[in-house]
Structure 1
Amino acid sequence: MIWQKIVCVLIGYVFGLFQTGFIIGKMKHIDIRDYGSGNSGTTNAMRTLGKKDGFITFFGDALKAVFAMMLTYFLFRNGVCKDHMFIIALYTGIGAILGHNFPFYMNFKGGKGIAASAGLIFALAFFDWKFLALGFCTFFIALIITKYVSFSSLCLMTGFFIEFIVWGQLGMVHNLESQDKVEAYILVGFLTVLSYIRHKENIKRLINGTERKIGQKKEA
């Protein structure tokens, strides 16, 4: 299954190259990376382009991971991969996140991958609904309490990693074959570490108390 996994990462990467916020910005004759935090993700799009375009950016970036995973599902649902579709989905989602974070045509300067990760978690709900339910609760409870999008995003990814291992060890992840468990843990762990790396500046501001809360004006 090595070549199938490589193909999945490549397909995901190609889908991830669709930079919703960057494209919307170009339609308005600006490069979103020249404003705010300098990335092309949802939060910067919302602050730079407005709430409407921010929501469009989120759904566009999330759906590209979903569509990529749907494509690889139909490509590999039969044959040698038919009993390993969960791990196939993970590789595809990782590819989409890498394409979103590191688009080659933008000098590898993309977003932070949270919307694409949310799309991955949403797509995994077709295998096991628990990931979407707990992920939704984790993000929005953290957001309501702290008002920090970055902190809530990290809570989402950390919670996803922890619940994945706990449910995996308890045999509660549907469609995840036992021989794929360790590999799946490593992949989800990689995504979690990557989210922290991409949010390193946010983490510094959170520690220093200078991170902007949702709805907070820049000079407040």
Structure 2
Amino acid sequence: MILKLIVSIVVGYLFGCFSTGYFVGKHNHINIKEEGSGNSGATNALRTMGIKAGIATFAGDLLKAFIPVLAVRYGLFRDADMGYLYALYIGLGVVLGHNFPFWMHFQGGKGIAVTSAVIVSLADWRITVIGLILFIAIVAATKYVSLGSLMVAWLLTVNTVLFWRTSEYFIHMLILSLCFMVLAYVRHGQNIKRLLSGTESKLGSKKK
């Protein structure tokens, strides 16, 4: 079992290493690592290259998580508990690959788009809908994408507690779910500092 779990996280990592924002930037003759926040995620792509590039980056990041997670959850395991557990591992691998791609000197995105794809793939549909509504409401009210993103980071943990607490792997699943949240908060460390100081960039604001 340990070997399979290691393979799952490694395969997920390799999927995550496909940095969509970097290639979208190259298509637009831009090195996204040298623009805006220097982040290769969808938010920076949106701010530096416009809505089309932002959507393309977001879609690519979703897809690279959907493919391995759904394949594991519904294609490789008939047992629901094992399917959810292994899908969490491969999803965590995707987030790690997205955040820390080896070929970009371990400087990637912040993992919210891929985390969202894992949530959509694994969470109960009600959790997904509520999360989407809350994200839109928070961003619409505050214009802070980072604040909405930090809220999204909790959804897998909430889903695990609500729907998998009777599983024999519950503690294992809970720890993995919390890892998604911890990674999101670590990668948003500077955003959190700016939110607290009131200097965080708002959606639609022009780059100085």
**Matching residue's letter, 2:25:** G
Q: TM-score, structure 1 length as denominator? A: 0.88
Q: After superposing the two structures, state which structure 1 stretch, 178-187 or 22-31, moved more.
A: 22-31
Aligned to 1:68: 68
Give per-residue Cα distances to partners, 1:118-165, cap 9 Å, x unaligned. 11011114xx32331222122112112211000100011134434532
The 1-side partners of 2:102 and 2:207 are apart by 31
Deviant stretches of 4+, over 6 Å: none
Secondary structure in 2 matching 1:36: coil
Aligned to 2:131: 135
Percent sequence identity is 44
Q: TM-score, structure 2 length as denominator? A: 0.93
Q: Is 1:35 matched with 2:35?
A: yes
The 2-side partners of 1:36 and 1:164 are apart by 35
Secondary structure in 2 matching 1:24: helix
**Matching residue's letter, 1:87:** L
Secondary structure in 2 matching 1:84: helix
* Structure 1 gap segments, 5+ residues each: 172-177
Provide closer, same or farther for how the CA distance between residues 89 and 131 of structure 1 changes in structure 2, counting only shifts above 3 A.
Answer: farther
Aligned to 1:181: 170
**Matching residue's letter, 2:47:** R
Query: In 2, are the aligned partners of 1:39 and 1:111 still within 8 Å (CA)?
Result: yes
Query: In 1, are the aligned partners of 2:164 and 2:170 still within 8 Å (CA)?
Result: yes
How much has 1:108 moved relative to structure 2? 0.4
Provide closer, same or farther for how the CA distance between residues 205 and 22 of structure 1 changes in structure 2, counting only shifts above 3 A.
Answer: same
Aligned-CA RMSD value: 1.8
Secondary structure in 2 matching 1:139: helix
